[in-house]
Amino acid sequence: MRAIIPEYLLARLAVAQQPHLARAAEAARKTLAAPRDYRPDRARFELSVDGDALVVEASPAPDRVISDAHNRETLPGVRVRGEDDPPTGDVSADEAFDGLGVTFDFFWDAFGRRSVDAVGGTLAATVHYGDLYDNAFWNGERMVFGDGDGEVFAGFTGSLTVIAHELTHGIVEHSGGLVYRGQSGALNESIADVFGALTEQHHLGHTAAEATWLIGAGIFTDAVTGDALRSMSAPGTAYDDDVLGRDPQPGHMRDYVDTAADNGGVHINSGIPNRAFHLTATALGGHAWERAGRIWYATLTGGFLNPLIDFAGFAAATLQAAAQEYGEDSEEVAAVRAAWVGVGVIDDDQGA
């Protein structure tokens, strides 16, 4: 399961003894115990007039289907909204619908990609999954959202970075996949964070300098001391809370966490490639999806990766993709190289 909340965070919450967190602790235990089965064209038209001619311009449109699990752990649930249906009035269902559309628009506008499968496949989501379910995940065919517990987690459909993150896991799968363990798994998580952040930036029109680079802002209640689940610009600083502890993400290979937990640290060590992308994007400036994002997207979809690739292999692949796109002596290649040097994945004298 490709879930946004790592098990180590839920495990810590599950043993919380504070009376005011009883509901949250129960929710964490239920979330950890819940079964999570994993199973590996529409168009929009714009009319305008050019002289005496009626001009019709067509572009791909998403095909969204939102279902409601009614707090059961059975998928897909009851269909409540399709592409041509009006808003339901259910906040979670309508937020999921809107978030899927924004994510579709980003991948089409930035990279010409039509949906998760690149051929216009349906974007499906289920809301109100489980009772006190503290997570959101991609199960191989749809997005699934819990409602949170109301004490620690406020819910997940309101975070665009969460929605885009989980859908990007689907794009990773359709691009050949990355084994969800160790460094390849951390890259899987990092790529999902990269395009989650870029979706939000594209939606808001933010440049790399203006962006927050936060993943999951808004999923915590006000009781939590923290800004988000992860920070791409400063891994390890997203939260520091009495109950949840301190964000454990490193931003440099010298602090790499060697662990058997969290599928070999996939949510922890993803901070290293996350910071490499942030360094690349801020060095190049402007809108991060236009150059840094294009390099990462070309790396993912261009046949550069094998499912067990490590950080060094991925760094080399991004350099190769940047060179093909912009030239060996380009500032883009220089920025990518400096970023990977900056996080300790490659040496100063190591070339493409």
With beta carbons less than 8 A apart as the criterion, state whether 199 and 103 touch: yes
Tokens of 136: 């959101």
CB 277 within 8 A of CB 251: no
Tell me, what amino acid is at 309? I
- Name 337's Cβ contacts closer than 8 Å, sequence gap at least 6: 319, 346, 350, 351, 352
Q: How far apart are CA 232 and CA 325, in angstroms?
A: 24
Q: Do 146 and 135 touch, CB atoms closer than 8 A?
A: yes
Which is the catalytic residue, given 165, 202, 267, 287?
267
Return the DSSP state at 86: P
- Contact in structure between 272 and 193 (CB atoms under 8 Å): no
Please name every residue paired with 49 in a beta bridge, in sequence order, or none if there are none: 54
Rounded CA gap, 352 and 318, in Å? 9
Annotated active-site residue 267? The verdict is yes
Q: Is 260 exposed, middle or buried (0-12, 13-18, 19+ CB in 10 A)?
A: exposed
Instruction: Please state whether beta strands 123-127 and 143-145 pair in parallel, antiparallel, or not at all (unpaired).
Output: parallel
Residue 42 phi, psi (nearest 5) = -105, 170
Map tokens 């999923």 to a residue: 219
The answer to whether 338 and 347 are in contact (CB under 8 A) is no
The catalytic position among 151, 166, 189, 332 is 166
Helix, coil or strand: residue 141: coil
Q: Catalytic residue at 202? A: no
210: Cβ–Cβ under 8 A, 6 or more apart, which residues? none
Structure-token match 């979330």, residue found? 31
Catalytically active residues are 166, 267
